Amino acid sequence: MIGLDFAFSFPRWWCEQRGWTSGRDVWAAMAAQGEDLLAACQPPFWGRPGRANPHPAEQLYRRTDRDAGSGAPKSVFQIGGAGAVGTGSVRGMPHLLTLADAGFSVWPFSFHGWPRVVEIYPRALTGPVNKSRWVSRHAFLRERFPEQPRDLCERAAGSEDAFDAAASALAMYAARDELRSLSSTSDPDYSIEGRIWRPAPPPAANGGVGS
């Protein structure tokens, strides 16, 4: 199971506008055109100097981005400025085509066994944490994953990227039974836009008082 932290596709409206009907269509297009799209930074892309966001709010995000509520991922169309994820996503998508051609299932686009690739958003796996401070990263790892060796937690806290990678891998391992049970989708949004994998929330505690 591989978790990759970039958007696996674009909002459905743009995919339909471009004539893409599957994840493979999107990934092949980015393999052929992605660098030109990034260099031009023409709508729907934005974020470079002088390239303001041209979209109404409902066009910015995929359904799976909106599912996150507060603290949602950035728009895949943003390729410059603070927190931009578009450049990494456009350059990452061709690798999904390579993985699919090598026999990987890319969830939720295809589902034919193992190995599998899922889109992750580390903040959805960690919850609120001040990643800019080593002491906060280290404390989070020690508290959330007390069974892990102390030296692993110290090394994983060494940078924000290392923290994201380690915390995501440990969260995925903790939810391994849930990951094993994933299936493909027939939902028209998720089947072309992709979907961020998020672990199911823990059952709500019973707050009632027994008689």
What does the mean pLDDT of the chain come to? 89
Express each pLDDT in 53-107 by its tens digit: 888 888 999 999 988 754 567 899 999 988 889 999 999 999 999 999 999 999 9
Average of per-residue pLDDT across 125-147: 89
What's the full length of the chain, in residues? Answer: 211
Residue 209's pLDDT band, with cuts at 50, 70 and 90, is very low
Express each pLDDT in 139-179 by its tens digit: 999 999 999 999 999 999 999 999 999 999 999 999 999 99
Residue 204's pLDDT band, with cuts at 50, 70 and 90, is low
d(CA 90, CA 76): 8
Tell if the pTM clears 0.75, that is, is over it.
yes
Could you say which DSSP state residue 45 is in?
-
Judge whether 82 and 135 are in contact, CB under 8 Å.
no
Judge whether 167 and 141 are in contact, CB under 8 Å.
yes
Q: Count the neighbouring beta carbons within 10 Å of the beta carbon of residue 24.
A: 16
- Report the share of the chain in percent with pLDDT over 90: 68
